[in-house]
Amino acid sequence: MTTLPIPMIKRPLHPTGIWNWITTIDHKKIGILYGATAFINFLIGGIEAILIRAQLSGSNADIITPEVYNQLFTMHGTTMIFLAIMPLSAAFFNYIIPLQIGARDVAFPRLNAFSYWAFLAGTIILHSSWLFGEAPNSGWFSYAPLTSIAYNPGHGMDFWIVGLQVLGIASLAASFNFVVTIINMRAPGMSLMKMPLFTWMTFITAILLVLAFPVITVALIELMFDRSFGTNFFFAPAGADPVLWQHLFWVFGHPEVYILILPAMGIVSEILPTFSKKPLFGYSTVILAGAIIAFMGWLVWSHHMFTVGLGPIPNSVFTITTMAIAIPTGIKIFNWIFTMWKGSITFSTPMLYAIGFIVTFTIGGISGVMHAMSSSDAQQQDTYFIVAHFHYVLFGGAIMGIFGGLYYWFPKFAGRMFNEKMGKIQFWLLFIGQNITFFPMHFVGMDGMPRRIYTYSSEMGWTALNALETAGSILVVISVALFLYNIVKSWRSGEKAPDDPWDARTLEWSISSPPPEYNFKEIPEVQTVDDWWAKKRGLLGEQAPSGGSGEKGEIHLPQPSFWPLVTAIGIFIGGYGLIYSYPAAIVGLAIMMIGVYSWSFEPVNDPD
């Protein structure tokens, strides 16, 4: 059977080897693609960080020039946020969500594949800026007018703009998919208030994403037009206000940080009950707190701008809203602690990460409340005190949660057990390493060390602590190397994993490790929260024979497709075209349209 409108190209039916991966629309494979690519990006972002730490380890150092240093911290931030944390979360969304809701795949499998390939396109575009000799250099938030063509004539900023737009398309595609999937593909009996916490946090994150990304899409368009076509959006001589960029960026940027942390919070909310053998304390409260955080996240953005001169009234309003958002956050932390209270706790590696998350994320939250007060922020803004804060919440929060999830679900996706002893050692190295790296930053920051400086004088008195921070970062490197070794070795030759190695609570543990392509032989009927746990413990009454939607006999799965990849290739070429050559952009657009048309006419399921 052929696909239109290009009849010569046959639809792949049972591709093998690399074609299997290229045309896959299976959420599990896509999850693995996301995870592998994102982890490589994490390593690249880590190298960028190590170079920064090397340069800062001593006073008056000149290992890195100022120009390259600016590119390093810009790329480190951009890479970690957009190319590492978000897609690592996406890897979990992809792999785990259909399993947790009892579905066979997501609502739009080809759109799912497309979102991965577009993400890969964005990854390559951004990293390639180094190879073209100019990476973006104005910080991950790129304030105007430093980013204008007058002050930034090279192509670096154009790479940043195009890269983020492409990544935005990928993220939006994925999030639209997850919103519909979570609303519309739950197993029979799974009402919203019976969904696992990780699914809930994913749902909230996806909604936040589809509402927040359009704002930065427009901001990036405005910046690109200023740079390429001479418009006046941020051009002060025409009467424009460069602070508008800051507003637009942070209206996106603040919801973005909740997009970064909510999935990790969801993971922690899965791990703690499993390893405490107790249900999550205050299930509905934790969900409600997550929703409140997502809503309030729209009300706080100018706390990133306290020193810009907005005036006393805006500063006061945003101080109050920012302090208020600590309340639902605190509620979650207490609920996690109460989950463990009087639980039967096993301190395996995922659990260590979850508990570690609570410790380091809370520290980050405390410094956050200190910044919330606009007057004290006047001292802290643009110093290493802020750098300490966000690394505690992002590394000590998001990354810890993600590592916890990687260990927790490793048996499920790899079908093997990892080396537990090595895992514990790796945890402690990472935990200690990150604290040695980031805790001293509170002190040098309070002492006045500014952000984004490429070196400092020996008379400042910051040298010893900076050297200590660099030492800590070496520990982090060793820890990550150990993690990689453990994962790769275990994936190859670890002990085979049972379906449910942790005696866990949610549906993904009711099927084999790894799951069959179709996930569930029969779609489960769900009766309660933590339904799998309840089934195992015989807590449910007489059940209707399972078989949910009455599917007998054959299971139909959506079939692979080329077109998501082709569409992404069109966008990839178009991206470079926007940076270097408008004719090439037209070619990219044409390929993208061919991809979209062919995709529309391709059957969801070929009769074969």
- Closest by CA position to 351, among listed 433, 424, 431: 424
Instruction: List binders of another protein among 416-445 (CB under 8 A).
Output: none
Q: Does position 13 bind another protein by CB under 8 A? A: no
Looking at beta carbons only, is 59 or 307 nearer to another protein? 307
- Beta carbon of residue 547, minimum distance to another protein (angstroms, whole number): 13
- Beta carbon of residue 8, minimum distance to another protein (angstroms, whole number): 12
Give the SS3 label for residue 554.
coil
Instruction: List binders of another protein among 257-286 (CB under 8 A).
Output: none
User: What are the backbone dihedrals phi and psi of residue 6, each rounded to the nearest 5 degrees, phi first?
Assistant: -110, 90
Q: Does position 373 bind another protein by CB under 8 A? A: no
- Beta carbon of residue 199, minimum distance to another protein (angstroms, whole number): 13
Q: Does position 604 bind another protein by CB under 8 A? A: yes
- Beta carbon of residue 29, minimum distance to another protein (angstroms, whole number): 20
Radius of gyration for the alpha carbons in the chain, expressed in angstroms and rounded: 24
Contacting residues for 497 by C-beta, under 8 A, at least 6 apart: 411, 412, 414, 415, 416, 417, 513
Contacting residues for 192 by C-beta, under 8 A, at least 6 apart: none
Q: Does position 131 bind another protein by CB under 8 A? A: no
User: Among 113, 248, 268, 400, which residue interacts with another protein (rule: CB under 8 A)?
Assistant: 248
Distance CA 337, CA 326 (A): 17
Instruction: List binders of another protein among 73-112 (CB under 8 A).
Output: 107-108
Contacting residues for 150 by C-beta, under 8 A, at least 6 apart: none
Looking at beta carbons only, is 252 or 283 nearer to another protein? 252
User: What are the backbone dihedrals phi and psi of residue 416, each rounded to the nearest 5 degrees, phi first?
Assistant: -135, 160
User: Among 240, 259, 449, 565, which residue interacts with another protein (rule: CB under 8 A)?
Assistant: 240
Distance CA 30, CA 27 (A): 5
Stretch touching another protein by CB under 8 A, among 156-164, 307-315, 487-495, 567-575: 307-315
- Residue 311 burial by Cβ neighbours in a 10 Å radius (0-12, 13-18, 19+): exposed
Q: What percentage of the chain's residues is helix, strand, coil (to nearest 5)?
A: 70, 0, 30
Q: Residue 452: left if φ>0, alpha if ψ -120 to 50, beta else—which one?
A: left
Residues 547-576, mask of contacts with another protein (x by CB under 8 A): --x-x----x-x------------------
Single-letter residue type at 472: G
Q: Does position 6 bind another protein by CB under 8 A? A: no
- Beta carbon of residue 600, minimum distance to another protein (angstroms, whole number): 8
Q: Does position 309 bind another protein by CB under 8 A? A: yes
Looking at beta carbons only, is 211 or 359 nearer to another protein? 211
Distance CA 199, CA 591 (A): 35
- Closest by CA position to 527, among listed 517, 508, 547, 541: 541
Whether residue 374 contacts residue 305, with contact meaning beta carbons closer than 8 Å, is answered with: no
Tokens at 452, concatenated: 């984004």
- Beta carbon of residue 280, minimum distance to another protein (angstroms, whole number): 23
Size of the chain in residues:
608
Q: Does position 233 bind another protein by CB under 8 A? A: yes
- Beta carbon of residue 240, minimum distance to another protein (angstroms, whole number): 6
Stretch touching another protein by CB under 8 A, among 146-154, 155-163, 306-314, 391-399: 306-314
Which residue has tokens 């368009």?
221
Which residue has tokens 């602070």?
243
Instruction: List binders of another protein among 493-522 (CB under 8 A).
Output: none
Stretch touching another protein by CB under 8 A, among 237-245, 413-421, 530-538, 562-570: 237-245
Looking at beta carbons only, is 214 or 450 nearer to another protein? 214
Looking at beta carbons only, is 66 or 214 nearer to another protein? 214
Stretch touching another protein by CB under 8 A, among 46-54, 63-71, 179-187, 324-332: 179-187
- Beta carbon of residue 10, minimum distance to another protein (angstroms, whole number): 12
Whether residue 334 contacts residue 286, with contact meaning beta carbons closer than 8 Å, is answered with: no
Whether residue 440 contacts residue 461, with contact meaning beta carbons closer than 8 Å, is answered with: no
List, as one string, the DSSP characters of 13-50.
SS--HHHHHHH---HHHHHHHHHHHHHHHHHHHHHHHH
Q: What angle do CA 392, 395, 396 make, to 5 degrees?
A: 55
Which residue has tokens 């993971």?
267
Which residue has tokens 């090439």?
584
Looking at beta carbons only, is 393 or 526 nearer to another protein? 526
Q: Does position 176 bind another protein by CB under 8 A? A: yes
Residues 205-224, mask of contacts with another protein (x by CB under 8 A): --x--xxxxxx-xxx-xx--
Looking at beta carbons only, is 111 or 476 nearer to another protein? 111
Looking at beta carbons only, is 183 or 488 nearer to another protein? 183
Beta-bridged to residue 416, according to DSSP, are 496
Residue ranges binding another protein (CB under 8 A): 1-4, 7, 107-108, 172, 176, 179-180, 183-186, 188, 190, 207, 210-215, 217-219, 221-222, 225, 229-233, 238-241, 244, 247-248, 251, 298, 302, 309-311, 313-314, 549, 551, 556, 558, 597, 600-607
